[in-house]
């Protein structure tokens, strides 16, 4: 499988972001990419008034996703992109849409909301309740996670249980002390935990770190970016995947299974010094 990771800084204008996404799709298709992974929430990005995300949200049959889905009719590349879609309670869902051949073939709504480091994603975003979402691409099984999900090892393990050999991880990883270290450590850990490839595409810009990377099943970052917009290329080697799972059989050696039951959202408890 040939993979392209499209790193860019989203603007407040969805049409600008669609244009950038289509440009990356053209480049990915021209380079014979089987899979293009774009960042989280690229429908629009706001650094100040986070509430604007509600006004910017579009349904999955809206112009942004429809434009990207339509563009896949003429290429062989599958695209994973993060958007926000309206939720019934007035908030939005943080959703990954997967397009191929002019159709929307999969959808995942982010389960773990970023209520951490003084952020409160749940103020404007409703959590999904999807079970692990996987899809086939170029003869391999690809699982879906979004950004903060990577901090929860059971999420990746459930995807591995569902057959994932590659995890597509769109993100908008917020800058901050030690945050780049957290990102690279967690992406690598999820690859090692499950002896799978992790294709992590990060948004860059003034708020987020970028740092897109493709990590192999033995924890080697085979390709990575810094903070600038760019298309990153990498390959998934089925032979290396098989070898890793033979030499490091963690999926066979484990003694516990993961219960796929989704827990209710817990109220955030203030931390006092």
Catalytic residues: 40, 110, 147
Cα 152–254–107 angle (5° rounding)?
40
Q: How far apart are the first and last CA of the chain?
A: 50
Reduce the DSSP state of residue 153 to 3 states and report it.
helix
CB 45 within 8 A of CB 205: yes
Sequential DSSP letters for 68-119 = HHHHGGG-S-EEEEEEEEE-TTSSEEEEEEEEETTEEEEEEE-SS----TT-
Contacts 24+ apart (CB under 8 A), 255-261: 257/161, 258/154, 258/157, 258/158, 258/161, 260/131, 260/132, 260/158
């Amino acid at each position: 499988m040939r993979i392209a990771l499209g790193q860019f800084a989203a603007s407040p204008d969805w049409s600008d972001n669609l244009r950038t996404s289509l440009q990356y799709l053209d480049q990915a298709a021209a380079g014979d990419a089987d899979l293009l992974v774009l960042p989280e929430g690229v429908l629009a990005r706001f650094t100040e008034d986070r509430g604007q995300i509600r006004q910017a949200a579009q349904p999955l049959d809206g112009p942004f996703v429809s434009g990207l889905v339509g563009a896949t009719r003429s290429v062989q590349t599958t695209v994973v992109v993060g958007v926000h879609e309206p939720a019934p309670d007035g908030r939005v869902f943080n959703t990954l849409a997967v397009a191929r051949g002019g159709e929307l073939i999969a959808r995942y709504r982010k389960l773990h909301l970023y209520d951490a480091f003084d952020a409160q994603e749940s103020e404007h975003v409703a959590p999904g309740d999807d079970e692990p979402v996987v899809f086939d691409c170029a003869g391999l099984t690809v699982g879906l996670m979004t950004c903060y999900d990577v901090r929860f090892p059971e999420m990746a393990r459930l995807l591995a249980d569902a057959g994932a050999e590659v995890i597509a991880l769109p993100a908008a990883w917020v800058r901050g002390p030690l945050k780049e270290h957290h990102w690279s450590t967690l992406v690598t850990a999820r690859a090692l935990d499950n002896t799978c490839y992790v294709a992590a595409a990060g948004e860059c810009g003034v708020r987020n770190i970028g740092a897109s990377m493709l990590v192999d099943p033995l924890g080697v970052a085979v390709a990575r970016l810094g903070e600038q917009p760019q298309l990153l290329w990498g390959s998934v080697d089925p032979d290396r995947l098989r070898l890793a799972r033979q030499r490091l059989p963690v999926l066979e050696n484990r003694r516990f299974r993961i219960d796929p039951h989704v827990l209710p959202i817990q109220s955030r408890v203030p931390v006092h010094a």
